[in-house]
Amino acid sequence: LKNQNPVISKPRYVRVNTLKMDVESAIQEIGKTNKVTKDDMVPDMLVLPSGVDLHDHPLVKNGSMFLQGKASSMVAVALSPKPGWKVLDGCAAPGNKTIHLAALMKGKGNIIACELHKERVKVLEDTIRRSGATNVDIVHGDFLDIDPKDPLFAKVRAILLDPSCSGSGISAKRLDHLLPSYSKGHDVDTATSQRVKKLAAFQRKALAHALSCRNSCRCRENIMSFLGHYAVPDVERLVYSTCSIYQTENEDVIKSVLPLARSLNFELATPFPQWPRRGLPVFEGSELVLRTDPTEDMEGFFIALFVRKKSTNSSGK
Ligand code: SAM
């Protein structure tokens, strides 16, 4: 018995889309058939008893509520964009975090949602349509090709980077469709480690690009960057997140960009300081980043928040 996992009943989470419905009305409606409480950490997140299935609920179908997990919902909250800001979502589809950003911004300001794959752009469009968000512009293209000198990206104040990852923090059952080779008897360890290394290479590149164009060589001058080009106080906050449990995709990626980030006046900040699970102790400051546990918290996410230090030549806008 000692080695067996106890059957722990996990709550269900649902995020109220405040672009369409207020939280109290949602509680009233859902409370007619289920016990429902508010989450104590993530705003607009409702907690329901284990086993409740809301997939076919009319409020889910009409986009008033989204079946987004708590850990996943912590990402946009960590970025905390203000209404009226311009925000760039670098790897956006299917768009759960894009529309969460839109709700946090109360539909005011502008979100640029970038997505590489055409098929996934359609899913992104559908998510945005269902959410009722009207302040999202989709860019179908490679985030690495985004040129911060393009007027479209002028005045971006916050960047959310949730790049493709191994998905190792999400239950294997839900990822079955993404991992066909594993179920055909391939060597899981070798395949996983090769795939993770490839993903981490992209993640490092994408995060470095979000911080600065210097290494991507797509800018005319080395100095041009999201941070440098637009000068203080434009890009102020940047969140990097994955749904992976691997150090390679998480702490190692952050550690590799820290010198660049520091050179651009960025420092790691602490999203959700009250949350106990922090980064693996593999670099100084790893306690600032956040992890969620795939078993305890239902999804294994990683969140790092960079905040640009106020500069003396800041106009303070
Ligand atoms: N943030 C999304 C959400 O919460 O719904 C999930 C993002 S998913 C983890 C990563 C997305 O990035 C995928 O849709 C993938 O197609 C896209 N992607 C991968 N490489 C990209 C690139 N170079 N530029 C833009 N998007 C990319």
Domain with residue 52: its CATH number is 3.30.70.1170
Give dist(CA 14, CA 6) in Å, integer.
25
Residue 226: predicted pLDDT: 58
Residue 251 lies in a domain: yes
pLDDT average per 10 residues of sequence, the chain (317 residues): 54 97 98 96 96 95 97 98 97 98 98 98 98 98 92 92 96 48 47 91 97 45 45 76 97 98 96 98 98 94 95 48
Give dist(CA 162, CA 207) in Å, integer.
10
Residue 6 lies in a domain: no
Residue 280: predicted pLDDT: 98
Q: Which pair of tokens denotes residue 229? A: 């080009």
In the numeric block, the tokens 């790092």 are attached to: 304
The answer to whether residues 95 and 243 belong to one domain is yes
Ligand 1 nearest-atom number relative to CA 144: 23
Give dist(CA 52, CA 283) in Å, integer.
41
Range of the domain at 43: 12-66
Domain count, the chain: 2
Residue 74: predicted pLDDT: 98
The answer to whether residues 251 and 151 belong to one domain is yes
Residue 4 lies in a domain: no
Q: Of 96, 123, 113, 109, give the one whose Cα is nearest residue 17.
A: 96
The answer to whether residues 96 and 180 belong to one domain is yes
Interface predicted TM-score (ipTM): 0.99
Residue 211 lies in a domain: yes
Residue 5 lies in a domain: no
Please work out, in degrees rounded to the nearest 5, the angle formed at the alpha carbon of residue 66 by the alpha carbons of 31 and 307. 115
Domain end marker among 66, 81, 109: 66
The answer to whether residues 21 and 166 belong to one domain is no
Q: Which pair of tokens denotes residue 265? A: 């006046």
Domain end marker among 66, 91, 109: 66
Angle, helix 251-263 to helix 188-211, in steps of 10 degrees: 20
Which CATH number does the domain housing residue 136 bear? 3.40.50.150
Contact 213, 146 (CB under 8 A): no
Give dist(CA 225, CA 235) in Å, integer.
10
Residue 127 lies in a domain: yes
Q: Which amino acid makes up residue 132? A: G
| CA-proximal residue: ligand 1, atom 11 (nearest) | 91
Q: Of 145, 116, 140, 113, give the one whose Cα is nearest residue 219.
A: 145
Ligand 1 nearest-atom number relative to CA 167: 9
Ligand 1 nearest-atom number relative to CA 165: 9
Residue 107: predicted pLDDT: 97
Residue 45 lies in a domain: yes
pTM score: 0.88
Contact 262, 284 (CB under 8 A): no
Residue 232: predicted pLDDT: 37
Residue 225: predicted pLDDT: 53
What burial letters (b/e) apply to 67-91, b meaning 16+ CB within 10 Å?
ebbbbbbbbbbbbebeeebbbbbbb
Contact 15, 55 (CB under 8 A): no
- Is-catalytic flag, 243? yes
The answer to whether residues 176 and 220 belong to one domain is yes
The answer to whether residues 136 and 242 belong to one domain is yes
The answer to whether residues 61 and 99 belong to one domain is no
The answer to whether residues 29 and 145 belong to one domain is no
Q: Which pair of tokens denotes residue 192? A: 């996983």
Q: Per-residue pLDDT tens for 45-95? A: 999 999 999 999 999 999 999 999 999 999 999 999 999 999 999 999 999
Give dist(CA 208, CA 256) in Å, integer.
9
Q: For residue 175, how far is its CA from the centre of ligand 1 (angstroms)?
A: 16
Q: Strands 86-89 and 156-161: what pairing?
A: parallel
- Out of 74, 89, 91, 241, give the residue to mutate to test ligand 1, the one with the largest number of ligand atoms within 8 Å of its CB: 91
**Residues in Cβ contact with 48 at an 8 Å cutoff, skipping those fewer than 6 apart:** 11, 12, 13, 14, 30, 34, 35, 36, 54
Residue 117: predicted pLDDT: 98
Q: For residue 95, how far is its CA from the centre of ligand 1 (angstroms)?
A: 9
Residue 151: predicted pLDDT: 87
Q: Of 145, 196, 162, give the one whose Cα is nearest residue 94.
A: 162
Residue 2: predicted pLDDT: 43
The answer to whether residues 29 and 161 belong to one domain is no
Query: E strands of 107-194, at which residues?
Result: 110-115, 136-140, 156-161
The answer to whether residues 159 and 35 belong to one domain is no
- Out of 15, 96, 99, 164, give the residue to mutate to test ligand 1, the one with the largest number of ligand atoms within 8 Å of its CB: 164
Ligand 1 nearest-atom number relative to CA 142: 24
Chain centroid offset of residue 84 CA:
20
Chain centroid offset of residue 229 CA:
24
Residue 36 lies in a domain: yes
In the numeric block, the tokens 């059957």 are attached to: 7
Pocket around ligand 1: residues whose beta carbon is below 6 Å from it? 91-97, 114-117, 120, 142-144, 162-165
Q: For residue 158, how far is its CA from the centre of ligand 1 (angstroms)?
A: 17
Dihedral sign computed on CA atoms, order 64, 70, 76, 79: positive
- Out of 66, 111, 115, give the residue to mutate to test ligand 1, the one with the largest number of ligand atoms within 8 Å of its CB: 115
Q: For residue 242, how far is its CA from the centre of ligand 1 (angstroms)?
A: 11
Q: Which amino acid makes up residue 109? A: G
The answer to whether residues 100 and 123 belong to one domain is yes
Q: For residue 178, how far is its CA from the centre of ligand 1 (angstroms)?
A: 14
Cα radius of gyration (the chain)? 20
